[in-house]
Amino acid sequence: MIKGNFPLSRFTGLRTPFYYYDLDLLDRTLDAVKAAIAPNPEYRVHYAVKANFNPVILSRIAARGLGADCVSGGEVQAALDAGFKASDIVFAGVGKSDAEIRLGLDAGIGRFNVESEAELRVISEIAAACGKVAPVSLRVNPDIGAHTHAGITTGLAENKFGINYEQLPAVLGTALSLPAIAYKGLHFHIGSQILDMADFVALCNRVNALTESLREKGLPVGDLNMGGGLGINYRHPNHLPIADFDAWFSTFRRFLRTQPGQTVHFEPGRSIVAPCGSLISRVLYVKEGTVKRFAIIDGSMTELIRPAMYHAYHRVENLSSDGPDTVYDVVGPVCESSDVFAREETLSECRRGDFVAIRSAGAYGESMASRYNCHPLPEAFFG
Ligand code: LLP
């Protein structure tokens, strides 16, 4: 069984569970992003901070010149603190509070991605009151079902995100009429962990049709933000550690119709940080049940909630043992039956104290950790 390369000697003595990030892999991933967009100087990438806001990770990404995509005032502040240029920060979210809007205006962020007419009017009022003009893109709900699981689609009419396709011309008209709003463009996002490029082709087709109909009505389109969503290979973290950015960007290159001078923005989160992070835990007990064999580890859904919340698969590797392949349900100590990392997973035979790595946990892992059961938040280490 091929396993990841981990500095086990460094792990001894550290309190488990903890996150371990391979910064070299993060750097190589960022190189791959930059190489993939190199042919298109009009392409701009804003890292989705929600995937991982660890300050070390954020400042590493900021230093490579990417922008940031944020969904709260806290994320805007974290991005500013990490060194992202304010003008490269975009701020989405259906429920921005007045204080968050003020923070964005004061910092001079590049874009408010506005999700409703009501929000547009509030941003206008707040901007006018402080003598500012808010740069705004309108987030459109493209009503496209991505081939991912229901909990993480965002671009369907039934989802809460974005402005209805049919209502867009009217809201755009309002945006153009408000003096404290500078209309800048359109924003889309169809969902997350998408591996079928046909979903992004469908998005391009939808955007092409929409921009054409706006132009026919004499309305401006402005810049395009296509959101994030590129998936990674959770099954084979060692064979395919870097997401297929070439396939992703070339899909837009081929299918999205753009005008001269129009910039095209992207907001990848998972594809940038998921592969470089692992949750490192230790085996506490091996329990032979009547129908199952359990490896009970000290990590739990409080550090990584994805398996419990979305039935997401993360590969689990026993780093300490080369024992015979053995099948386990890998479970945590939390008092919930959903606190299961993997069912029927094959690991090298487990003994008490072995280190196990739960792979591809760099995105939506540490950032979604909770203190349920009075667990402390996990620490992070870097290699
Ligand atoms: N842009 C917007 C407007 C978003 O809502 C999201 C993610 C992204 C960009 C980044 O998407 P990504 O490239 O990471 O797919 N907690 C879930 C994922 C939720 C994603 C929410 N929005 C999970 O663990 O799978």
What is the pLDDT tens value at each position of the chain, 383 positions in all? Answer: 789 999 999 999 999 999 999 999 999 999 999 999 999 999 999 999 999 999 999 999 999 999 999 999 999 999 999 999 999 999 999 999 999 999 999 999 999 999 999 999 999 999 999 999 999 999 999 888 766 665 666 666 677 889 998 899 999 999 999 999 999 999 999 999 999 999 999 999 999 999 999 999 999 999 999 999 999 999 999 998 999 999 999 999 999 999 999 999 999 999 999 999 999 999 999 999 899 999 999 999 999 999 999 999 999 999 999 999 999 999 999 999 999 999 999 999 999 999 999 999 999 999 999 999 999 999 999 99
| Bridge-based pairing state of the strands 316-318 and 355-358 | antiparallel
DSSP per position, 302-334: TT--HHHHH-----EEESS--PPEEEEEEE-SS
72 Cβ closer than 6 Å to some ligand 1 atom: no
75 Cβ closer than 6 Å to some ligand 1 atom: no
Provide Rg for the chain, Cα atoms. 22
Please count the helices (runs of H) and the strands (runs of E) in the chain.
Answer: 11, 17
CATH superfamily, domain 23-272, is Alanine racemase (3.20.20.10)
229 Cβ closer than 6 Å to some ligand 1 atom: yes
Do 329 and 297 form a contact (C-beta atoms < 8 A)?
no
Ligand 1 mean position, distance from CA 321 (Å): 35
248 Cβ closer than 6 Å to some ligand 1 atom: no
* pLDDT at site 150: 58
* pLDDT at site 160: 81
Boundaries of every domain in the chain: 8-18+275-382, 23-272
* pLDDT at site 144: 81
Closest C-alpha residue for ligand 1 atom 9? 228
Closest C-alpha residue for ligand 1 atom 7? 192
Structure tokens at 353: 């104290």
124 Cβ closer than 6 Å to some ligand 1 atom: no
* pLDDT at site 153: 61
* Element of type H or E holding 47: strand 43-48
Mention the CATH class of domain 8-18+275-382.
mainly beta
154 Cβ closer than 6 Å to some ligand 1 atom: yes
269 Cβ closer than 6 Å to some ligand 1 atom: yes
Ligand 1 mean position, distance from CA 225 (Å): 14
Q: Which of 171, 159, 162 is nearest to 141 (CA)?
A: 162
227 Cβ closer than 6 Å to some ligand 1 atom: yes
189 Cβ closer than 6 Å to some ligand 1 atom: yes
Q: Which of 66, 138, 77, 137 is nearest to 104 (CA)?
A: 77
Closest atom, ligand 1, to C-alpha of 305: 24
69 Cβ closer than 6 Å to some ligand 1 atom: yes
364 Cβ closer than 6 Å to some ligand 1 atom: yes
Is the torsion defined by CA of 197, 198, 199, 201 positive or negative? Answer: positive
Ligand 1 mean position, distance from CA 267 (Å): 9
Ligand 1 mean position, distance from CA 272 (Å): 12
155 Cβ closer than 6 Å to some ligand 1 atom: no
* pLDDT at site 157: 67
Closest atom, ligand 1, to C-alpha of 268: 13
Ligand 1 mean position, distance from CA 49 (Å): 9
> To test ligand 1's pocket by mutation, which of 72, 96, 265, 270 has the most ligand atoms within 8 angstroms of CB?
270
Closest C-alpha residue for ligand 1 atom 5? 189
**DSSP-assigned letter for residue 372:** G
